[in-house]
Structure formats: structure tokens, C-alpha cells
Structure 1
Amino acid sequence: MQDSAQRLLIIDDDDMFCHVLERAMQRRSLDVAVAHDGLQALEMAERHQPELATLDLKLEHESGLKILPELLRIVPDCRVVILTGYSSIATAVEAIKLGAVNYLCKPVDADEVLAALEKTEGNPEAEVADNPPSINRLTWEHIQKVLQEHDGNISATARALGMHRRTLQRKLQKRPVRR
């Protein structure tokens, strides 16, 4: 690789996703490093000093939202895109507040990730949906917002929502409801 290649850090606990994205980004002339958890990600950030990073929102034992501020403390100019299969408005807003430059819902391809990393301005022409979200989607969004307000604490969130902790855990294990 050339010395001038941009450095990308991929932080995700899905080995296959990492492998596919790493190869695709290397084909696009990026210098890629991969981390599978928060500690490894922060160590690699110290060593690698990436200009770009993708960060999975939901790693196996930790939230990408907790890693994001630490990552940006180590490499303040790093452009971070949050990737997730568990999207919600609450986590998207928090990710941007914490310093992410973009937030993408999986599945994504390398071109979408690159476009999100390179995008520097908002789009006032962005399409606004004609139909409101379903009741199930609104419920999912509300649960995510309350969960975020309680720093991911399932018991505190269940109490705040007036539901049993196990019921909440079952709801959280399901994939997000489509719009």
C-alpha cells in the first residue's frame, strides 16, 4: 500500500462482515485495520491513527456509543460512521451528538460506507416519507429512546416503561420493525 492511503479502522464483532468490508476497502486503496471489541479498537486507534472508522452500534458486550467518545479522544479528527442492524432515531441522534459523521443501517456495501464517510454536509433535498411509521415501529423507537436514557440498563428501562424485565429483553432481541 502507498503511504498516502487513507487509514480506516473497522470496529465490528461480525467476523464475516469485517472480512468482506476489509477486502472491499482495500480494493479501494484504503489501509485497513480491524478490531472486534472496544478495547482492541482503542488500542488499534492509538497505533493506526485512522482518519476514518466504521463502528458497530451493538458489539457483543458493549455499545458503540460508549466507545465513540474514547475513539475520538484518541483520534479527534477521525470521521466515524456508525453501522447498525438495530437502528433507531434515539441512537442515531446520540451517535451524531457524540461525534459520528453519519449513521447507516445494515446491510450496507462498501460504496455506501465510503459515501457516508466522505459526506461533509447535510442534504436539504433529502426525501421525507409520506407515510408515518407503524405503531410497532413507534414502540421500537420509544423503547430505544428510554433504553438510551437509562444508559442501556435493562432493569431501569423496564421499570420506566412499566413492563417486566424479561418482556423487555424479548422485545430487544427481535429485529427492529420496518417502517
Structure 2
Amino acid sequence: MTSNRLLLIIEDDAAFSRTLARSFERRGYTVICAANLEQAKALLQEHTPNYAVVDLQLHGHTSGLSCVQMLHNHDAAMLIVVLTGFASIGTAVEAIKLGACQYLAKPSNTDDIEAAFGHVAGSAEIELTNRVSSIKTLEWERIHEVLTETNFNISEAARRLGMHRRTLARKLEKQRVK
């Protein structure tokens, strides 16, 4: 199946996936959905999407970064947008290195995602700030850097960070971007 506007959504939240799919279908996209890496691989056997929306943290703390890498290896021209409720500089950088064209924090709507597909090239006109990162921000970024290194394995990340697993889980729940 080929279409100029074939979109693959990799999202484990079925309700959000359905809502996003309907919204894109109303905009003229043909949408296929997968809940995990394996389902996405199976869909790529029959389809070649032009666009993809990937949730960063899939069920079971599986990293959407693996999906981004697999999609980019499948078709380097595919425009991939990563959505996350756990935004950090570390995961944003990794997503872009692995082939994503944009990285958006949830909540993001169809307008935001479609605009991200259209804004692939970087811009040197972005205004720089003099704001110094707070200790909490630095801690949050370090936690997400280690989570990315451990493929979102909470126990291993807690061990590497030198903290109890429950402490790490509480920090993640407390700082969750909604």
C-alpha cells in the first residue's frame, strides 16, 4: 500500500492512538498504528510510511528510541516526530541523532505534530537565553540520560545513579510532564 501521506503511529496508549489517528485521517492522511516495536516491524513489511509519530516510552518502559532507529534504517527519508511525557535534553538529542526530525513534549496536538513535519530544517534564528539550569533541571536531565543508556530499565538506572529504585520511580512520577 502506498500513499503520499501514509502515517505510522507507534503509541501504546490505545485511546490516544485512536484519537490521533482519527484527527490525521480527517486531514487526509492514511494512518496505520502499532503499539510496540514488533508490531511496527510487521507493518513495515507491507507499508512504507512517509511519516511516523513515536511515543518515547512504550509499555514496559520500552524506549521509543529503538523504534526511531528502526524506522530511520528502514527509510532515511521518513519524517519521524517523537512525542514524550518525559522530555529531557538527553533524550531529545538521542532522538535526533537516531533519525527523528522533531521532538515534542506532551501534550501535543495534531497541529503541533503536523507543523513539526513541516519544520525539518534547523533555524539559526532561534533566540538564545542566558538562563542558568537549576539543580533540579540538571538532575532531571541526568536521570533521563541514564534512563536512555539503560533502555528505560528503572532498576539498572537507579543502580547507576546510586539511588533506590523506589526513589527513582517517585522522582519520575513527580516530574512527569503532562
Q: TM-score, normalised by structure 2?
A: 0.88
Match of 2:122 in 1: 122
Match of 1:42 in 2: 41
Aligned residues: 176
Instruction: Give the alignment of 1:41-80 within 5 angstroms.
Output: 41-61=40-60, 62-80=62-80
3-state DSSP of counterpart to 2:39: helix
Match of 1:20 in 2: 19
Tell me which amino acid in the other structure corresponds to 1:174: K
3-state DSSP of counterpart to 1:65: helix
For residues 94 and 64 of structure 1, what CA distance do their matches in structure 2 show?
A: 11
Tell me which amino acid in the other structure corresponds to 1:136: K
Q: Deviations over 1:7-35 (max 9, x none)?
A: 00111111222122111111111111111
Q: Quote the sequence identity (%).
A: 45
Asked if the contact 1:5/1:29 (under 8 Å) is kept, the reply is no
Q: Deviations over 1:13-58 (max 9, x none)?
A: 1122212211111111111111111111121122221010000000
**1:101/1:143 CA distance change after superposition, 3 Å:** same
For residues 10 and 177 of structure 2, what CA distance do their matches in structure 1 show?
A: 25
Q: Which moved more, 1:4-13 or 1:152-161?
A: 152-161
For residues 174 and 41 of structure 2, what CA distance do their matches in structure 1 show?
A: 29
* RMSD over aligned Cα atoms: 2.1
For residues 33 and 150 of structure 1, what CA distance do their matches in structure 2 show?
A: 29
Asked if the contact 2:85/2:177 (under 8 Å) is kept, the reply is no
**1:154/1:99 CA distance change after superposition, 3 Å:** same
Match of 2:108 in 1: 108
Match of 2:175 in 1: 175
